[in-house]
Amino acid sequence: MARSNMTRSDIREQPAYPLAEASRYLKVAPATLRAWFVGRRYPKGVGTAHSKPLIRPAKNPPPVLSFWNLIEAHVLRSLRTEHAVKMDALRRAIDYAQRSLNIDRLLLSPELRTDAGKLLLERYGELIELSASGQIAMRHVFKEHLARVEWDEWQFPVRLYPFTSSRVANTEKRSIAIAANIAFGRPVLAHAGITTATIAERIDSGESVTDLADDYDLSTEEIEEAVLYERAA
């Protein structure tokens, strides 16, 4: 399947996540996510102007995201959230990389791990005048995010392992997974396919971590990760 053949018939491109829900899964503030997908108003002279969105949502209005939109926002999070700069610089860097390499929807591309990612980060760093040490830190966070995405044999994103909280840490932990074809695209414990929401609900109803670990043949750490993910800001 060629990348140019992306169609809305693919379940991964179907609208499935309202902004509020997507913000919980990605651990990105709702206002930030809205700005990425809808744009935002800002003061200009005696009036206001409206910035263009960075990503095209699967459905709009109201904006409803697809699984592939989650991937795009997850990648964008590594640049925008860690470096509070104007959206215009980020938009220009993405457009520049897409034009230079003739890549459609750059934030979905596995080439981000190689030349495309290098070009994007270099251009972005130039536009925001990031220091050399800042660029090193940015590349590290960028790689941390890309390591959380799996691509299929046709080089399309197929699974996301979201961070448990808004803080980027510990890439090795992949207890939680999101895939469009599992549990209607809701976050699950990767080894069992049980939604994190179900785990949290059972804990809230009085069941113990140990009992749930025995029920699902999981470790107590995995159960606790599911609860942390559901309750973390």
- pLDDT computed for residue 4 by the predictor: 45
> How far, in Å, CA of 76 to CA of 131, rounded?
20
Which SS3 state, helix, strand or coil, does residue 139 take? helix
pTM for the predicted model, two decimal places: 0.90
pLDDT of residue 2: 45
Confirm whether 202 is domain-assigned. Answer: no
73 is a domain residue = yes
Domain for residue 171, yes or no?
A: no
The reported pLDDT for the residue numbered 164 is 87
CB 71 within 8 A of CB 157: yes
Taking each helix axis from N to C end, the angle separating 87-101 and 115-127, rounded to the nearest 10 degrees, works out to: 140
Please report the pLDDT score of residue 99 as a whole number. Answer: 95
Residue 123 is part of which domain span?
3-158
Question: The tokens of 231 are what?
Answer: 């309750």
Output the CA–CA distances (angstroms, integers) from residue 94 to 57, 201, 202, in the order listed.
Answer: 16, 40, 43
Q: What is the pLDDT of residue 87?
A: 82
At 82 the pLDDT is 53
Domain assignment present for residue 225? The answer is no
Q: Are 80 and 87 in contact (CB under 8 A)?
A: yes
* Beta-carbon contacts of residue 140 (< 8 Å; ≥ 6 apart): none
pLDDT, position 232:
86
| pLDDT beneath 50: ranges in the chain | 1-4
Per the rule left: phi > 0, alpha: psi between -120 and 50, beta: everything else, 106 is alpha
Q: How many domains does the chain have?
A: 1
Considering only CA atoms, which of 168, 21, 14 is closest in space to residue 80? 168
In a domain, 197, yes or no: no
194 part of a folded domain:
no
Residue 176 belongs to some domain of the structure:
no
Kindly provide the b/e burial profile for residues 54-63, where b requires at least 16 CB atoms within 10 angstroms of the residue's own CB. Answer: bbebbbeeeb
Which sign, positive or negative, has the C-alpha torsion 208, 212, 218, 222? negative
Q: For residue 202, with 0-12 CB atoms within 10 Å meaning exposed, 13-18 middle and 19 or more buried, which class applies? A: buried
The pLDDT of residue 1: 42
Q: Determine, yes or no, domain membership for 98.
A: yes
What are 132-147's pLDDT values in tens digits? Answer: 998 898 899 899 999 9
Return the pLDDT at 7: 54
The pLDDT score that the predictor gives to residue 50 is: 81
As a whole number of angstroms, the distance between CA 170 and CA 98 comes to 30
